[in-house]
Structure 1
Amino acid sequence: MSSALGRDLLFQLLQHYGVSHAFGNPGTSELPFIDGFPKYPGIEYVTALHEANAVGMAMGYARQTGKPGVVILHVAPGLANGTGNLYNAYRAGIPLVVIAGQHHTRMLIEEPILAGDHVGQVRSMTKWAHEVRHADELPIALHRAFKVALTPPHGPVFLSIPYDVSLAPTAIDRIAPPAKVASGFVAERAALEEIAQVLLAAKRPLLVAGDGVGDAGAHDEVVRLAELLGIGVIAEGMPTRQNADNRHPLFLGTLPLNAKQIRQSLGGADLLFYVGVGAQAPVALYDNGGSLVSPGTKMAYLSDDPWEIGKNVIGGIGAWGELKASLAALMEIVKKSSGPYRDTIAERRREVEAQAGARRKRLAAALLADRGTGQISAKLVAAELAKLLPPDGMFTIVNEAVSGASAFSDYVPLWDPKQYTAGKGGGLGHGAAQAVGAAIADPERIVVGVSGDGTFLYYPQILYSAVKCNARVLFVIVNNRAYHVLKTGMQAMGAPLGADSLDCLDLDGPADLVKIAEAFGVAAERVTKPDELADALRRGLYAAGPYLLDISVTT
């Protein structure tokens, strides 16, 4: 019998993958794992005061490192606390390995307190979920968990490991290096040739760039393909990566989250090319207005996830492959086939550049109008922040500003996938924790976590973790003292909603965000006037540790 315990196999895999931090909220059933950290000095346990923050930090860590984010949670109630952000990670395709300690196997038959059906709790929001019932299962279960999480399409996996299994002697001293699935395959050439032909022949094609682009590091390829074809690029709704350079003259912005506005944004195209799109219906409130894609619109897809091909629109051309390599192959085909379409491409490019230029003018005019009010808006915060961020691009914006979110993708120049992340599932309370995880992953990078006041108040105890790790995060709270997104949502839906004022949507009560921050040991200040904004942002950006700005914004 080996001298290694069940828990040691997990730590050995963490060493193999170069995972430096794991995240959790300590509880009884996972104590064997927590007790193991001092025995593996290269791996640090980061304490969260709520399981949602543990998952959120792991999301930010995984996004910045490209390594699996590892979370160790408590038995059923603790797991339940983490599922909101587990859902966000699942929808965003973030590779997490989530482990929950389960009761002792001998005790489960007696239905003890805290025990539950862990796999049933998370099956709908993981790529794979399993409960280990014997130490002999652990090598296979752990191998499979890491392999599945890291094989495209990426996503979270889950293991429930009983207390006694984690402490049981194992049959092996060391777990073998895990299998790596080679997934860099190029999409079928015939499909790429067909896509190239319809892109060249279309009058008004539009490329929709999804998070698969950023995950694959294919953002430059997307822009080069758009240049070859003379077509516009728009980011998918609720992006969690920067999937194309938003300074480029062919960039047309980000799809909105309002169904009517999505139809307007897509309606001018006779061909939509979805590249790595994972949120084809980023709508929280549906208006019963029909499909988000106009009838008769031709569809083409390139994705590393075949589920996303032809999912919501009947028909079209789909190519399944790794995005970076497949886009390179597609560009070569376009170059060889574009001769007869040279004039068409040039004309399309002029039209798209004019459209993008008009958009930039509208953004500039809206910002100028906000400056004239003498009050602070989310646009003004984003524009001032953009002036202060390092020009070398070593920064990350974690965006959970909700009703003010679009300002931070519109007014901050972004050109690299690691410069931006957000949430995709629609669940709130991930942003501040993701920012801390990103700062832990890359201490040299400036990290700005932008939250609304409502989202920040979900789990403000993330400040405890930020202080304990001395995470250099500037927490920017765009405080409109309301669940403003719900108010605008009711207005957009119209009658019968919105007839009455709802006090429950106002947050002008007793919460003092500056005092909350200071209570956790975080330096903080309140900003109420535009002329205070730049200096406050500068102090926060270059502070030696976490810093919070409570910025009063107009709605």
Structure 2
Amino acid sequence: MADAGGTSGGGRVAGWGSDVVADALAALDIPYIALVPGASFRGFHDSLVNYLGPDGPQMIVCLHEEHAVAIAEGWARVTGRPMAVALHSNVGLMHGSMPIYNAWCDRTPVLIFGATGPVDAHERRPWIDWIHTSADQGALVRPFVKWDDQPGSAEAAVESVLRGYQIAATTPKGPVYICLDVGMQEASLQREVRVPDVARFAPGRPPAAAPDEVERAVDMLAAAHAPAVLMGRMSRDTADWQRRVAFAEALGAPVLTSIHRPPAFPATHPLHVLPVCGEWPSVAEADLIAGADLILSFDWLDLGGYLRGCIGTASTQKPPQARVIHVSLDHTMANGWSKDHYALPPADLALYADPDQVVGQLAAALGVRGCSAAAPLCPDALHNHTHWQSSVTPPASGADHAMSLELFAHTIAGFAASREVSFARLPIGWPGDACAFSHPLDYLGKDGGGAVGTGPGHSIGTALALKDSGRLVIGVVGDGDFLMGVNALWTAANLQVPVIFVVANNRAYFNDVRHQERMALTRNRPVENKWIGQVLDNPRPDIVRLAEAQGFAAEEVGTPDALIQALEAAELRFRAGQGTVIDARVGGY
């Protein structure tokens, strides 16, 4: 860490521009930097290796820039802190742009370093430096990063790193991009450049609601007979988790969570009356929302669209009858390019504050009013609601050639029930009644951008963050997702970071098969053609051999019993430090 006077730790004396960038990174105590090496940041690379040495972040070498960003995002999804990434020039940034967009949509902090140049055309080598230099490289990702910069001096680079970290880690969090000119990196320093005390530039505390707004919210809750609470984007912190439970018990209202986000409330709690919400509102969810007279939303993903889906309208012209308290800071991220601000939600009280801060304020206010779990504020809110687990019937095993997705999911959930498991990812169609989450790290959510290929990187980043925690890390991914990101597994093997992948292999881009089926039915065209352009066959990708080539153990299974046996064997390997891929045949093609 840099001391209060700003000198480098370890007796280092910066001699080059990139040394100063490395000093700033070390002062922030960032443990890892994921990268695919590139000549554009050769100066920075040298500073990390030969200047910082063991005082700097550990390098995570990747085989593709997409994996580097996805691993960093997976790590941040657990820790809530930015990890560093280095991307080579404009070409590396273009490779890495998709998972950067995912991090943006996920509101996940990532500190991304790029490089260009030399900006001075006189210094460019023939051919290669010209095609790897852009006039405004940050423009490639500016619509989906919180901030970008291209500092022109070593002094400016220090400020850029500190500002970038501060912005990335400030709620709502997100990725930032800092482009390092080759000329600045490789310039010999003829002066002292100091890194200040980074504690003076730390992110501030997330904002809370004004006291009068909290008072009004409590009054609205007290007047409600059938409130419903939607818990969306919230922290992984266990103290925040416990505070949410205490608040919900003091209120006594049903709570919903979504499979799009990591769990914000235990699905096994009596107040979580319905299964975890899936891709679209269920009939039971629609009935609950229709029967509510107050909806309290804590940064629910696409609140406006969700409410429209529940009440069966496609526009703002028919808002729900219930009053709405909307707690979110997400409007501050809207920029017009990406439409991830979603549908405009109605709000009778909009609290522009951090959701977990507001939970604490509301919990304190309810405590002052003498409320507790034994005497909830809304004692009749659970009328006619029974807990979803009381009616769960796992699907029976059929005579099919492959497991159904439902049977597959319940088999894995049954295995996890007696273990501390962190599901780094779950695939499309995973049933909500196979989500008995009871801890904030039981599941880390979907990819915010709805892309394909990030599942392996996210799972590896999650495993890196949870290494030595004792938690079993499982990434359940689709075959398309796995095949696009399979060589990310080499990085996990190289780092000796174990992770278990279970591939839901339906041997097709099955989500799009269903879209083609819908088109054919709508247009009165042959439904049997829905498979054309979708099937992964002839030859069938050999997932087992692809996994083994990356240093993983692997096997193929096709029945629930075989899946359980494979998971038990994978757990033993995981405890011994080796990763496993299970290629599970599920219903589909």
Q: Shorter-chain TM-score: what band? A: 0.7 to 0.9
Deviates more, 1:220-229 or 1:455-464: 220-229
Please point out which of 433, 438, 462 is paired with 2:457. Answer: 433
Aligned residues: 541
Match of 2:132 among 93, 99, 114: 114
User: How far, CA to CA, are the matches of 2:87 and 2:329 in structure 1?
Assistant: 30
Give structure 1 stretches of 5+ with no counterpart: none
Alpha-carbon contact 1:257-1:282 (below 8 Å) kept: no
Distance in 2 of aligned mates of 1:295 and 1:480: 39
> Structure 1 residues 216 and 112 mapped into 2: Cα distance closer, same or farther (>3 Å)?
farther
* Distance in 1 of aligned mates of 2:507 and 2:89: 36
Deviations 1:130-160 (A, max 9, x none): 2223333111111110110111111111111
Aligned-pair identity in percent equals: 24
* Greater shift in the superposed pair: 314-323 or 20-29: 314-323
Alpha-carbon distance change, 276 to 8 in structure 1, aligned in 2, over 3 angstroms: farther
Q: Which residue of 2 aligns with 1:303?
A: 328
Matches within 5 A, 1:65-214: 65-107=79-121, 112-116=130-134, 117-170=136-189, 171-178=191-198, 179-214=201-236
TM-score (norm 1): 0.88
**SS of match in other structure, 1:495:** helix
- 2:362 corresponds, among 314, 330, 344, to 330
Q: Which moved more, 1:119-128 or 1:325-334?
A: 325-334
Deviations for 1:391-447, whole angstroms, at most 9, x for unmatched residues?
Answer: 573x321114123xx34x642432222231131221221111111112222322321
The corresponding residue for 2:412 is: 385
> Contact 2:17–2:153 (CA<8 Å) still a contact in 1?
no
Displacement of 1:299:
1.3
- Which residue pairs with 1:401 in the alignment? 427
Residue among 389, 403, 407 paired with 1:360: 389
Structure 1 stretch displaced more, 79-88 or 514-523? 514-523
TM-aligned CA distance change 1:389 to 1:256, over 3 Å: closer
Asked if the contact 1:188/1:320 (under 8 Å) is kept, the reply is no
Q: Are 1:518 and 2:548 matched, yes or no?
A: yes
Measure, in 2, the Cα distance between the counterparts of 1:491 and 1:198. Answer: 46
Show structure 1 runs of 4+ deviating over 6 A.
Answer: 108-111, 259-262, 308-311, 341-344, 371-374
Aligned partners of 2:115 and 2:181 also within 8 Å: yes
For the residue of structure 1 that corresponds to 2:60, the secondary structure is: strand
Post-superposition Cα deviations, 1:254-276, rounded to whole Å, max 9, x if no partner, equal 33323787756644433221113
Instruction: Provide the rounded CA distance (Å) in 1 between the counterparts of 2:466 and 2:399.
Output: 38
404, 410, 413: which is aligned to 2:436? 413
After the TM superposition, which of the residue ranges 109-118 and 127-136 deviates more from structure 2? 109-118
Tell me whether 1:9 sits opposite 2:20 in the alignment.
yes
Amino acid at match of 2:324: M
User: In structure 1, how many angstroms separate the alpha carbons of the residues matched to 2:174 and 2:370?
Assistant: 38
Please list the CA deviations of residues 519-540 of structure 1 after superposition, one character each: whole Å capped at 9, or x if unmatched: 2222100001222111100111
Aligned mate of 2:296, from 250, 260, 273: 273
Q: 1:248 & 1:20 partners in 2: Cα distance?
A: 36
1:505 offset after TM fit, Å? 2.2
Single out whichever of 16-25 and 111-120 deviates more from structure 2. 111-120
> What SS class does the counterpart of residue 25 from structure 2 fall into?
helix
Alignment check: 8 A CA contact 2:66 2:97 kept = yes
- Structure 2 residue identity aligned to 1:470: Q
Matches within 5 A, 1:497-516: 500=527, 501-502=529-530, 503-510=532-539, 511-516=541-546
Matching residue of 2:500: 474
Q: Provide closer, same or farther for how the CA distance between residues 392 and 19 of structure 1 changes in structure 2, counting only shifts above 3 A.
A: farther
Deviation at 1:204, TM superposition (A): 2.7
Instruction: Please give the alpha-carbon distance, in whole angstroms, between the structure 2 residues aligned to 1:50 and 1:135.
Output: 29
**In structure 2, distance between residues paired with 1:508 and 1:270:** 52
Tell me by how many angstroms 1:338 deviates.
Answer: 7.6
| Paired letter, 2:294 | L
**1:230 — aligned with what?**
252
Tell me what 1:550 maps to.
Answer: 583
Distance 1:281 1:74 in 2: 39
CA distance in 2, matches of 1:161, 1:379: 49
Hey, what does 1:463 align to over in structure 2? 489
Matching residue within 523, 532, 535 for 2:565: 535
